[in-house]
Amino acid sequence: MTLKFKVTKELKGFTLDMDWELGNELGVIFGPSGSGKSITLKMIAGLMTPDSGEISLGERTLFSEHNSRIVPPFHRNVGYVFQNLALFPHLNVEKNISFGLGHLSNKKEKDELIDSYLERFHIEDIRFKKITEVSGGQQQRVAIARALVRSPDVLLLDEPFSSLDEFLRSEMQEFMLELKDKLNIPIVLVTHDKSEAQRLASKIIFYDRGRLA
């Protein structure tokens, strides 16, 4: 599947003007703060609308100025891990992951999916712990598992490891390298850390004040 992103968007102080595409690989959007990286993810997810251009995922057009087509966020099948993770502190690990399966009514199918992701992400032992009781690295795994449990067509990660210490960041980077070989979808990861970009990326997309550098 190919993600194509060709848009313009007037922003405060500069214009985002991008034209790139990404196949079933891990693309890192790299660049300084305020260059339009996180805004790009929001437009792919449908949380922000471009001024012009087109966004497509495989054969599906998510946004097009030519036919006034705008697919709403809940119909885009996008997995999104926010910078602050947006996990529910009052819920345990299992229930945070199962929140992404609200569309499934079959309890057996839902339980089997949750079991498989707990095992796949090596977090079976914290299944019934609240999010506030687990480590930062474990929280990252829960957030990514919740994003993937719906079998999205694309995975978006907005500086997911920026709040981790050096040891945990290295551990999660290694985890992402393993994960990208198993997922057959485009993965877009935003970072302003050059070494992280070089370590993780199949393709680096370098942003500089809204332009491809």
The one-digit pLDDT tens for each residue of the chain (213 residues) are 999 999 999 998 899 999 999 999 999 999 988 899 999 999 999 999 999 999 999 999 999 998 878 999 999 999 999 988 889 999 999 999 988 786 666 788 888 889 999 998 889 999 999 999 999 889 989 999 999 988 999 999 999 888 788 888 898 899 889 888 889 999 999 998 899 999 999 999 999 988 998
Q: How many separate domains does the chain show? A: 1
- Does residue 37 lie within any of the structural domains? no
| Spatial strand order in the sheet of 3-11 | 14-22, 3-11, 52-57, 60-64, 69-70
- Does residue 129 lie within any of the structural domains? yes
| 143-157: b (≥16 Cβ within 10 Å) or e | bbbbbbbbebbbbbb
- Does residue 143 lie within any of the structural domains? yes
Pick from 190, 145, 142, 138: which is nearest to 164 by CA?
138
Q: What is the pLDDT of residue 105?
A: 67
Find the domain containing 97 and state its range. Answer: 93-151
User: What number of other Cβ atoms are within 10 A of residue 106's Cβ?
Assistant: 10
- Does residue 120 lie within any of the structural domains? yes
- Does residue 13 lie within any of the structural domains? no
Are 191 and 197 within 8 A, CB to CB?
yes
Could you tell me which residues come within 8 angstroms of residue 195 by beta carbon, excluding any fewer than 6 positions away? Answer: none
- Does residue 158 lie within any of the structural domains? no
Tokens matching residue 88: 């529910």
For 55, 100, 115, the CA distances from 121, given in Å and listed in that order, are 31, 16, 10
Q: What is the pLDDT of residue 87?
A: 92
Instruction: Give the orientation angle of helix 136-148 with respect to helix 107-120, to 10 degrees.
Output: 140
Q: What is the pLDDT of residue 49?
A: 95
